[in-house]
Amino acid sequence: MSIKHRHGHATHRDAIWAVIRDLHEFSVSEIEDKTRISHGSIKTYILGLTKAGYLKRTEHHHRAKVDNRFVANRWQLIKDIGVDAPRITRDGKRITQGLSRENMWHAMRILRDFSSKDLAAQASTDDVIIKHADAKNYIKYLHKAGYLIIVIPAKLGTQTRYRMPASRYTGPRPPMIQRTKQVFDPNTGKVVWPKQRDETKHDHGVRQYSLKRYARS
């Protein structure tokens, strides 16, 4: 299978969603024809979308009396939320994984300047509670990677205040701190920290691997 991730650009689900919006009323095999994505994956996603209320089944599969041919299930799009494919599980529940980073990334763009406590509070929503420690950690790496500047350094009793200059906003997807502690920007497809150096360290091929992987999508 082709390796494309949501942190790259298009995923399989994005492609399926695009075809659904295009056709509005469809069967699984019609989507299969247009996307060349495996039947099973399409079914799984459609099932989830139906349970979540985005789709409605308009035809239940049966064998036609006249010519003994199969009539496949058909669905209709009843809730269109735009170009971004709904992120749901097969049960139709919203996927919350990764939401906190996303919230923080967008909050940083909006806030003029902020401390780690401000960020945690501003980026928290009903769905996602962001802990102060998480905000601190994310800020630490984004600062190292050059996304943030320090507006007011910490003094006794006050926290450092940061700002993200508009020019450092690279796109809607939050930079990731990968397992190897490197910062990867899915918007540009580049590892932004650490800079290309200490090649001899025992990272093995991890950095190269990531670069290649994401460059493809």
CB nearer DNA, residue 39 or residue 79: 39
Q: CB of 198: closest distance to DNA in angstroms?
A: 18
Nearer to DNA, 57 or 79 (CB): 57
Q: Could you tell me which residues are beta bridge partners of residue 75? A: 26, 57
Of the candidates 59, 55, 56, the residue with the CA atom closest to the CA atom of residue 73: 59
Q: Is the peptide bond before 194 cis (omega within 30 degrees of 0)?
A: yes
For DNA, give the closer residue by CB, 74 or 113. Answer: 74
CA distance 120 to 133: 8
Site residues (vs DNA, CB under 7 A): 1-3, 5-7, 11-13, 27-29, 37-38, 40-41, 43-45, 47, 61-63, 65, 68, 70, 72-73, 87-90, 93, 95, 97-101, 131, 133-134, 176-179, 210, 213
What is d(CA 13, CA 180) in angstroms, rounded to the nearest whole number? Answer: 27
CB of 91 to DNA, least distance (A): 9
Task: Tell me the C-alpha distance between 7 and 187, whole Å.
Answer: 8
Tell me if 183 sits within 8 A of 174, measured CB to CB: no
In angstroms, give the least distance from the CB of 133 to DNA.
Answer: 7
Nearer to DNA, 68 or 196 (CB): 68
